[in-house]
């Protein structure tokens, strides 16, 4: 051990000193060289506080009540990063105030005086071996790598003598022969129980444990842990603590801080292991605390009188005047929801627990507690600090909230119409939820109230195959705390194709014959679930209104043309139909004539020519094989009327007059169900005042 300079500490009514080298109370934990190399853990130095002889030297005053005393020269020590004060009787409170200052190893500078928090007696569970072996203690203080210490005590004059066995404990959390472990939460994710198989063969995902740095991850010294973990029956309360000390630590040092706390709890307080079940740093990284498994109700040493049926999480730092960040609140809420929800209890509720004895609740008394409580709710302590304690209400709200914002966002493989999703049977519903994934357990998918699938908490979609008919798909979000939310979607499975009840039928229509032949396609189509779309696929693709029953277009004469339709229902079932036809134009020269007709040459007419007659009863007759026909004429303001006879039967009178001159016009049409041999004859009426008619030919479909 390096040479140690004797250091006095001032107290009120008495004085104590840090014993010099060779004193009975000053020692470094004895380790042989091989053992020290093998032990991946901290080194403990203890320095006894004993009454000082003579008056204390003068110097700066204390920050605590009592007659001022000051320290003399500081004491040089081995390297350490955490300091605390302990004494023999764990049932005794210190009854005095302790301040320390330390020397930074990096630059030799001394820190300001800092007070060590000391509230209640040891929180180890009364009646256990851990409680019988425990020492009283202050909260430890993380000071960073240091090599010197000075301490002073005040206030003992009014509270009686200082406790026996009073000493300063210095912890070095880093083994100089081994590198500190890297913090990698994902790599150290702890196993969780397998999912439960239901009678309907749907396996529920296991309750996901919080992402945590395991004991191996932060380098726990398992060699100093005493005995095997002990367990309670369940977890009804999660107690929130702070470790006190500094908030200026680097989060990269969190593992070292926790190793130091473990050493302080085991080597200085004589507990079996670190007292807290979980610890979280100011950056929101969660660490496994006491060994035994985070999925189990491990009995800790954290809250006097209430360690059974509880768990504890401690935030590294002092939160008396500073609130924890939102990320830390979320982690605390997640741990509480996970631990309390595992036993079917609501984290935002209250519960009655029986005390095993604390300075606030006598042994056997009942305490009505929030399921997320602060340390001070059961003991006379400032922990977890005023600022963090004031945040517990919002933490309870986070932990106790049900899944929020659950909604189906889309359903692949289906079309939504009027609130119903239409499908052929295989769908993949997607959903969203505003609750953080860390606060969720799983998503259950029901079809007609039958559990069909269950997805992990990060799942947002599920493939389903449904039978024909109407169904209700229900998505149930299950939070870690057990609360649920539900959203539903109406689904209609239709595997029947649309039915064309008539057509498609093609006919000629009136209109221009200027290089084209006007045609009309007619049909009728129905579907039980409703049409989703309708399209003409040939002779050119055209998107049609699903309610349409006809399409008017034009085609080239003399070319065989296919006319195709495709009807698709809301579920995606499609049926295609088609018809083929060729349009022809029979010139007036091909007609059988009677009466008087005069040739009219000119490019305005079909085939560069037409015929004109003013003589009543003059006629033209065409014979053809087809299923639709249209009369081709020229129309003027002086045009008269013609009688039409089809297959020997009168078919009406057509007036060819028009206020403007129109050549190459189809003015009358007739169609039949099938292709057959037909005749069309026109007769000049000899209309009074306008007897003349100009005829260009006959168009027909075959």
Residues 669 and 564 in one domain: no
pLDDT digits (tens, 9 = 90+) for 572-628: 999 999 999 999 999 999 999 999 999 999 999 999 999 999 999 999 999 999 999
**3-class DSSP state for residue 254?**
helix
How far apart, in Å, are the Cα atoms of 518 and each of 617, 624, 670, 691, 696?
29, 19, 13, 28, 16
Residues 562 and 543 in one domain: yes
Return the closest-CA partner of residue 203 out of 25, 451, 417.
Answer: 451
| Per-residue model confidence (pLDDT) at position 161 | 80
Residues 546 and 488 in one domain: no
Q: For a pLDDT cut of 70, what percent of the chain falls above it? A: 86
Q: Is residue 284 part of a domain?
A: yes
Q: Is residue 208 part of a domain?
A: no
Residues 266 and 379 in one domain: yes
Q: DSSP label at 590? A: G
Q: Is residue 200 part of a domain?
A: no
Q: Is residue 274 part of a domain?
A: yes
| Per-residue model confidence (pLDDT) at position 97 | 85
CATH of the domain at 559: 2.60.40.10
Binned at pLDDT 50, 70 and 90, residue 63 comes out as: very low
Mean pLDDT of 664-670: 97
Which of residues 172, 192, 207 is at a domain's end? 172
Q: Quick check: bond before 504 cis, omega within 30?
A: yes
Mean pLDDT of 617-645: 97
Which of residues 362, 384, 400 is at a domain's end? 400
| Per-residue model confidence (pLDDT) at position 460 | 97
Q: Which H or E run contains 118?
A: none
Binned at pLDDT 50, 70 and 90, residue 119 comes out as: low
Residues 249 and 282 in one domain: yes
* Residues 440, 614: Cα–Cα separation, whole Å: 92
Which positions ≥6 away from 96 have C-beta within 8 Å?
11, 12, 153, 154, 155, 156, 159, 162
| Per-residue model confidence (pLDDT) at position 59 | 39
| Per-residue model confidence (pLDDT) at position 195 | 40
Q: Quick check: bond before 695 cis, omega within 30?
A: no
Please check whether residue 629 is in contact with residue 670, taking contact to mean a CB–CB distance below 8 angstroms.
yes
In 203-229, which positions are buried (b, 16+ CB within 10 angstroms) versus exposed (e)? ebbbbbbbebbbbebbbbbeebbeeee
* Residues 372, 384: Cα–Cα separation, whole Å: 12
pLDDT digits (tens, 9 = 90+) for 473-529: 999 999 999 999 999 999 999 999 999 999 999 999 999 999 999 999 999 999 999
* Residues 582, 580: Cα–Cα separation, whole Å: 7
* Residues 594, 589: Cα–Cα separation, whole Å: 13
Q: Please provide the DSSP assignment of 42-88 as one string.
A: -EEEEEEEEEPSSPPPP-SPPSSSSS-----S-EEEEEEEEEEEEES
Please check whether residue 280 is in contact with residue 194, taking contact to mean a CB–CB distance below 8 angstroms.
no
How far apart, in Å, are the Cα atoms of 400 and each of 377, 395, 484, 620, 693?
19, 8, 11, 93, 91
Residues 373 and 445 in one domain: no
| Per-residue model confidence (pLDDT) at position 26 | 34
Q: Per the structure, how many domains does the chain have? A: 5
Strand residue runs (E) in 657-692: 662-684
More reliable by pLDDT, 529 or 180: 529
Structure token pair of residue 632: 């081709």
Q: Is residue 201 part of a domain?
A: no
Please check whether residue 599 is in contact with residue 609, taking contact to mean a CB–CB distance below 8 angstroms.
yes
Sheet of strand 278-280, all strands in order from the earlier edge strand to the far edge: 286-288, 278-280, 310-315, 237-242, 372-374
pLDDT digits (tens, 9 = 90+) for 553-565: 999 999 999 999 9
pLDDT digits (tens, 9 = 90+) for 419-428: 999 999 999 9
Mean pLDDT of 183-199: 39
| Per-residue model confidence (pLDDT) at position 317 | 96
Residues 580 and 622 in one domain: no
pLDDT digits (tens, 9 = 90+) for 248-271: 999 999 999 999 999 999 999 999
Q: Is residue 179 part of a domain?
A: no
Binned at pLDDT 50, 70 and 90, residue 174 comes out as: confident
Please check whether residue 99 is in contact with residue 111, taking contact to mean a CB–CB distance below 8 angstroms.
no
Classify residue 183 as left (phi > 0), alpha (psi -120 to 50) or beta. Answer: beta
Residues 552 and 672 in one domain: no
pLDDT digits (tens, 9 = 90+) for 220-233: 999 999 989 999 99
| pLDDT score of 158 more than 60 | no
Q: For a pLDDT cut of 90, what percent of the chain falls above it? A: 77
Q: What share of the chain is helix, strand, coil (3-state, %, to 5)?
A: 10, 45, 45
Mean pLDDT of 100-128: 86
Binned at pLDDT 50, 70 and 90, residue 188 comes out as: very low
pLDDT digits (tens, 9 = 90+) for 358-373: 989 999 999 999 999 9
More reliable by pLDDT, 647 or 98: 647
Number of Cβ within a 10 Å radius of residue 386: 15
Q: Is residue 330 part of a domain?
A: yes
| Per-residue model confidence (pLDDT) at position 159 | 54
Classify residue 90 as left (phi > 0), alpha (psi -120 to 50) or beta. Answer: alpha
| Per-residue model confidence (pLDDT) at position 419 | 95
Please check whether residue 256 is in contact with residue 145, taking contact to mean a CB–CB distance below 8 angstroms.
no
Q: What angle do CA 79, 80, 86 make, to 5 degrees?
A: 135
Q: Which of 34-38, 50-54, 238-242, 268-272 has the highest mean pLDDT?
A: 238-242
Mean pLDDT of 116-134: 79
| pLDDT score of 380 more than 50 | yes
CATH of the domain at 331: 3.40.80.10
Residues 596 and 556 in one domain: no
Q: Which H or E run contains 390?
A: helix 386-390
| Per-residue model confidence (pLDDT) at position 4 | 29
| Per-residue model confidence (pLDDT) at position 218 | 97
| Per-residue model confidence (pLDDT) at position 118 | 80
| pLDDT score of 37 more than 50 | no
Q: Is residue 195 part of a domain?
A: no
pTM for this model (two decimals)? 0.77
Residues 32 and 64 in one domain: yes
Binned at pLDDT 50, 70 and 90, residue 67 comes out as: very low
Structure token pair of residue 8: 């006095």
Structure token pair of residue 174: 């880093």
Structure token pair of residue 320: 């008396």
Residues 575 and 590 in one domain: no
CATH of the domain at 592: 2.60.120.260
Which of residues 400, 435, 456 is at a domain's end? 400
Chain centroid offset of residue 572 CA: 31
| pLDDT score of 38 more than 60 | no
Which positions ≥6 away from 316 have C-beta within 8 Å?
142, 242, 243, 245, 249, 254, 257, 258, 279, 280, 281, 282
Please count the residues of the chain: 702
* Residues 296, 209: Cα–Cα separation, whole Å: 11
* Residues 485, 507: Cα–Cα separation, whole Å: 59
Give the residue numbers spanning the domain of 527.
499-584
Strand residue runs (E) in 219-349: 237-242, 278-280, 286-288, 310-315
* Residues 434, 317: Cα–Cα separation, whole Å: 31
Structure token pair of residue 86: 């302990």
* Residues 87, 272: Cα–Cα separation, whole Å: 17
* Residues 43, 169: Cα–Cα separation, whole Å: 10
Place of tokens 């005749």: 679
Phi and psi (nearest 5°) for 38?
-80, -25
**3-class DSSP state for residue 263?**
helix
Binned at pLDDT 50, 70 and 90, residue 35 comes out as: very low
Mean pLDDT of 332-341: 97
Residues 427 and 316 in one domain: no
Please check whether residue 580 is in contact with residue 561, taking contact to mean a CB–CB distance below 8 angstroms.
yes
* Residues 610, 593: Cα–Cα separation, whole Å: 13
| pLDDT score of 10 more than 60 | no
């Amino acid at each position: 051990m390096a040479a140690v300079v004797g250091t006095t500490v001032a107290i009120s009514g008495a004085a104590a000193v840090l014993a010099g080298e060779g004193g009975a109370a000053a020692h470094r934990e004895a380790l042989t060289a091989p053992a020290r190399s093998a032990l991946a853990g901290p080194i403990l130095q203890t320095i006894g506080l004993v009454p000082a002889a003579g008056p204390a030297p003068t110097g700066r005053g204390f920050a605590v009540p009592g007659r001022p005393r000051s320290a003399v020269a500081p004491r040089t020590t081995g390297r350490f990063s955490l300091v605390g004060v302990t004494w023999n009787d764990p049932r005794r409170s210190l009854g005095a105030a302790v301040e320390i200052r330390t020397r930074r190893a990096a630059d030799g500078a001394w820190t300001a005086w800092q007070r060590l928090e000391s509230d209640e007696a040891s929180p180890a569970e009364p009646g256990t071996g851990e409680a019988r072996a425990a020492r009283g203690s202050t909260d430890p203080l993380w000071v960073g790598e240091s090599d010197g210490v000075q301490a002073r005590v005040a206030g003992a004059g009014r509270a009686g003598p200082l406790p026996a066995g009073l000493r300063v404990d210095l912890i070095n959390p880093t083994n100089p022969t081994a590198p500190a472990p890297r913090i990698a939460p994902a790599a150290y994710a702890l196993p969780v129980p397998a999912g439960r198989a239901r009678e309907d063969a749907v396996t529920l995902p296991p309750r996901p444990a919080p992402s945590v740095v395991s004991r191996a991850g932060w380098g726990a010294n398992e060699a100093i842990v005493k005995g095997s973990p002990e367990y309670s029956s369940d977890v009804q309360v999660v107690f929130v603590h702070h470790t006190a000390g500094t908030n200026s630590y680097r989060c990269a040092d969190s593992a070292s801080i926790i190793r130091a706390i473990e050493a302080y709890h085991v080597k200085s307080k004589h507990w079996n292991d670190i007292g807290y079940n979980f610890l979280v740093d100011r950056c929101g990284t969660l660490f496994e605390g006491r060994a035994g498994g985070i999925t189990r109700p491990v009995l800790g040493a954290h809250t006097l009188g209430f360690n059974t049926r509880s768990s504890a999480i401690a935030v590294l730092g002092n939160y008396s005047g500073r609130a924890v960040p939102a990320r830390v609140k979320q982690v605390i809420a997640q741990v509480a929801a996970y631990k309390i929800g595992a036993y079917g209890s609501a984290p935002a509720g209250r519960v009655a627990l029986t005390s095993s004895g604390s300075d606030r609740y006598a042994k056997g008394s009942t305490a009505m507690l929030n399921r997320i409580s602060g340390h001070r709710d059961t003991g006379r302590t400032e922990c977890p600090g005023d600022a963090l304690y004031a945040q517990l209400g919002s933490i309870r709200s986070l932990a106790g909230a049900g899944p929020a914002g659950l909604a189906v966002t889309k359903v692949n493989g289906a079309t939504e119409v009027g609130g119903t999703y239409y499908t052929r049977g295989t769908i993949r519903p997607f959903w969203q939820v505003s609750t953080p994934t860390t606060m969720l357990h799983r998503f259950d998918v029901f079809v007609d109230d039958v559990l069909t699938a269950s997805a992990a908490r990060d799942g947002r979609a599920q493939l389903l195959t449904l039978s024909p008919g109407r169904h209700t798909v229900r998505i149930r979000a299950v939070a870690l705390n057990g609360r649920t939310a539900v959203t539903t979607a109406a689904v209609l499975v239709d595997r029947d194709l649309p039915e064309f009840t008539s057509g498609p039928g093609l006919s000629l229509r009136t209109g221009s014959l200027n290089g084209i032949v006007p045609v009309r396609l007619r049909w009728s189509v129905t579907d039980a679930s409703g049409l989703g779309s309708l399209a003409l696929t040939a002779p050119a693709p055209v998107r049609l209104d699903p309610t349409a029953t006809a399409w008017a277009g034009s085609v080239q004469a003399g070319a065989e043309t296919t006319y195709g339709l495709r009807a698709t229902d809301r579920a995606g079932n499609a049926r295609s139909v088609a018809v083929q036809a060729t349009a022809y134009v029979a010139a007036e020269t091909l007609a059988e004539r009677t009466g008087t007709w005069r040739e009219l040459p000119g490019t305005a007419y079909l085939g560069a020519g037409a015929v004109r007659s003013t003589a009543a009863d003059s006629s033209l007759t065409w014979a053809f094989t087809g299923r639709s026909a249209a009369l081709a004429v020229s129309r003027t303001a002086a045009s008269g009327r013609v009688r039409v006879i089809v297959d020997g039967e009168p078919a009406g009178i057509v007036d060819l007059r028009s206020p403007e001159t129109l050549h190459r016009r189809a003015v009358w049409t007739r169609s039949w169900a099938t292709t057959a041999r037909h005749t069309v004859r026109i007769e000049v009426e000899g209309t009074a005042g306008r007897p003349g008619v100009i005829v260009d030919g006959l168009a027909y479909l075959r």
